[in-house]
Amino acid sequence: MKFIKRLGALFVALCLMATMVPAAFAADAKATGAITLTIGSPTMSVNGTATTIDAEGSRATLYKGYTMLPLRSVVENMGGTVSWNAANQQITMKYNGSTVSMTLGSKTAYANGVAKSMSVAPFTDNGRTYVWLRSLEFFPGVTVDWRADTRQATVVYPMVAGSTLATQPVQLKITNTSTVAYKEIRFAPAGTEDWGNNILTTQLYANSIANVTANFAKVKYDMQLTGVYGYKSYIRNLDFSNAGTYGSLTITSADAATLVLDGVLASGTDSSVLLTVRNNTGNVITSIVYGSAATGAWSDEQLATRYLAAGGYTTMTLPYASAKPYYDFRITYQSGWQVTYTNVNLASSWGTQMVTFNANGQVSYANSSTSTNSGSTEITFKNSYGKTVYELRMALSNTDSAFRNAKNLIDTTKNGDTDKFSIDLTGMRKWYIRAYDKDGDVIESGSVTFSSTNPKTATITLKKSGFALGSSSSADTGLLISNTSSKDIYGMFVLDPDDDDYKNSWDYDDFNDEYDDIGELDAGEYDVFDLDLYGSNDNEMRLIVFTDEDDFVEREISFNKNISDIGVLCIYDITGSSFSYSKYDDDKNDLDDGELVFEIYNSDGSKAIDEIYVRDADDGDEDDDRVSDFDKDDLLSSSLKSGASTSWIIDDDKYGDDGYCDFLFVYEDGTRVVLDDVDTTDYSYFVQINVDRKGADMDGK
């Protein structure tokens, strides 16, 4: 529930110990539609209703591994238009105030004049135009999703005037308990102002009932009410998402209503809550007012006596909507000082409706305390700051008094170590956090916002750039490090480039005492590591590498962007003081859309590879091993010596429409090695080919 003050209107007074109603509904988001297409099917689902794509039998299809959509039918159902210029083979789409144009055969589109890259060019088939699924995301607010298990593509888009609504008749009982008589009631998908017809057949007088049947889609609606004297008022975001066959709409004021669909509350206030408030501030409270969270609209005075002693209790009755039970409270001390408590959760899951106002701006629920080392959320604290952290405290307000009242949550945690604790988040997502040194001084402060009010687990990492909230990456994301040098790596450490605490004389044990060893890599081996990097964009690190010489070598490495999804680091020559490398990530080197890092490692003990060729797998088999049987371009610019490697980026369908290709490796002594039927579509972003004069094999991610 949200309290919103209509422009130019007074806030509706809220009374103590009476059943309350919400002041208005927020128009905080436009209604969205969804179009779902199944590969190979001539029908699609438009907002839940199945319909034929077009009279010609168009179907969504897979082309070169990419989902292609029949363009015109999808865009027009979204409420847009499509035009075709035959002279220059150009397609122009217009939707929701934006224009996207593209040309047949070109992978470049233009969104409001800005060039955009596509993974596959649009094409026509039997007079129907097909475009890459994700090109629709060039329109603001449009998202697309692909499910491989069902072979379905879904386009989610903001509803605009002209969008196709899949509607159904709803028998609606409208009860007017307000003091206003209405001559018209109209509905529009939320935020569109695309008002429909008047659903009233006669005037709806005060304290009267109208039974109507109207068509509604499963979206949120705004309602426009016109009084008998022409005055218009609005009720926003009435939620018809679960519309069934019948419903009741109770109009309680010019801008407030309660909607019930098939017996289930959809919007409005479903009950009142009797709230007990305890004053634990240590001060006399002379005023308490409240409002729905983040609206800035306050109720009338709730403290009838204008006096609540320290340690005292009072009660108040509030309107309550179980779907959005968040309130702000503002209290005033006898001195005139005011304190605001934000996002107070009155959900019934707390068991008893009692809250305690504390001096530090925090609220305790049902006698529970905040920032304890017990609760339902398990936090893993990772110290990557470079210094030992002696205390960690969390509070709901960023004040010194709040942190003085908060408890220490950890034991002493050295740099590189982790600690775990459990905490009761008390229904609040945003928490402030501070880390302290051995003298009790703050070494870092910040805030974290959890994904929900009661997550089961979470990870908080302290780095030089501040606190970061996250969780471990899966096995196929993070930083892939490949070692194709001639040396085995038995230890690696990732440091902040600003960390100057280590010495050049340190050995492996010195590093291992202060930092975490992320792992080892034999020559020719690779692995994926879940790492926390540094810098303002989480894209920097100093990599310390130990080889069999027992001396470390180091390099400072910066990627183009945050590589929490995909990053590749290929380590080549390791000398006594440094190492060579190539780096790739999902920014300028785009590894998301059919791009692969190809790494060739010559593991032969003595001979160099002079030439490497490739061809479409359909152009030959393993016995066709002459250079003339392959594409004429040599992929090597210079010989690849024994124990060396090279890498580059290619499209996974570069050498064949179906992703299959063959490689030929020609050694300096004339030995030819063929790697037959390489299926590049089996890999997401990295392929390593290990080759010697006896043969070749490949693996990747």
Summarised one tens digit per residue, pLDDT across range 626-636 is 888 888 788 88
As a whole number, mean pLDDT of residues 276-285 equals 88
Does position 487 have pLDDT exceeding 60, yes or no?
yes
Per-residue model confidence (pLDDT) at position 591: 63
Which residues, including other chains, have CB under 8 Å from residue 148's CB and lie 6 or more apart? Answer: none
Does position 286 have pLDDT exceeding 90, yes or no?
yes
Mean pLDDT of the chain: 78
Rounded Cα–Cα distance for residues 160 and 94 (Å): 12
Does position 72 have pLDDT exceeding 50, yes or no?
yes
Lowest mean pLDDT among 405-419, 446-460, 499-513: 446-460
Find residue 521's DSSP bridge partners: 489
Does position 18 have pLDDT exceeding 80, yes or no?
no
Burial of 149 (C-beta count, 10 Å sphere; 0-12/13-18/19+): exposed
Does position 245 have pLDDT exceeding 80, yes or no?
yes
Strands 552-558 and 525-529: unpaired
Does position 462 have pLDDT exceeding 90, yes or no?
no
Per-residue model confidence (pLDDT) at position 694: 87
Per-residue model confidence (pLDDT) at position 550: 63
- Rounded to the nearest 5°, which phi and psi values hold at 13? -65, 140
One-letter amino acid at 320 equals Y
As a whole number, mean pLDDT of residues 171-176 equals 90
With cut-offs at 50, 70 and 90, classify the pLDDT of residue 343. confident
Rounded Cα–Cα distance for residues 551 and 566 (Å): 30
Does position 154 have pLDDT exceeding 70, yes or no?
yes
Lowest mean pLDDT among 338-352, 469-483, 566-580: 469-483
How many angstroms separate the Cα of 199 from the Cα of each of 176, 208, 335?
A: 14, 16, 55
Does position 127 have pLDDT exceeding 80, yes or no?
no
Does position 189 have pLDDT exceeding 60, yes or no?
yes
Does position 323 have pLDDT exceeding 70, yes or no?
no
With cut-offs at 50, 70 and 90, classify the pLDDT of residue 582. confident
The model's pTM: 0.37
As a whole number, mean pLDDT of residues 470-494 equals 70
Strands 660-667 and 672-679: antiparallel
Q: Is 240 helix (H, G, I), strand (E, B) or coil?
A: coil
Q: b or e along 186-212 (b: 16 or more beta carbons within 10 Å of the residue's beta carbon)?
A: bbbbbbbebebeebbeeebeeeeebee
The answer to whether the beta carbons of residues 219 and 34 sit under 8 Å apart is no
- DSSP code for 148: T
Per-residue model confidence (pLDDT) at position 609: 92
For residues 681, 684, 686, 688, the Cα torsion angle rounded to the nearest 10 degrees is: -40
Per the listing, tokens 């024994």 go with 642
Structure tokens given for 45? 């689902």
Per-residue model confidence (pLDDT) at position 596: 80
Per-residue model confidence (pLDDT) at position 103: 93
Looking at the chain, the whole-number percentage of residues with pLDDT higher than 90 is 11
Rounded Cα–Cα distance for residues 246 and 239 (Å): 14
As a whole number, mean pLDDT of residues 109-125 equals 89
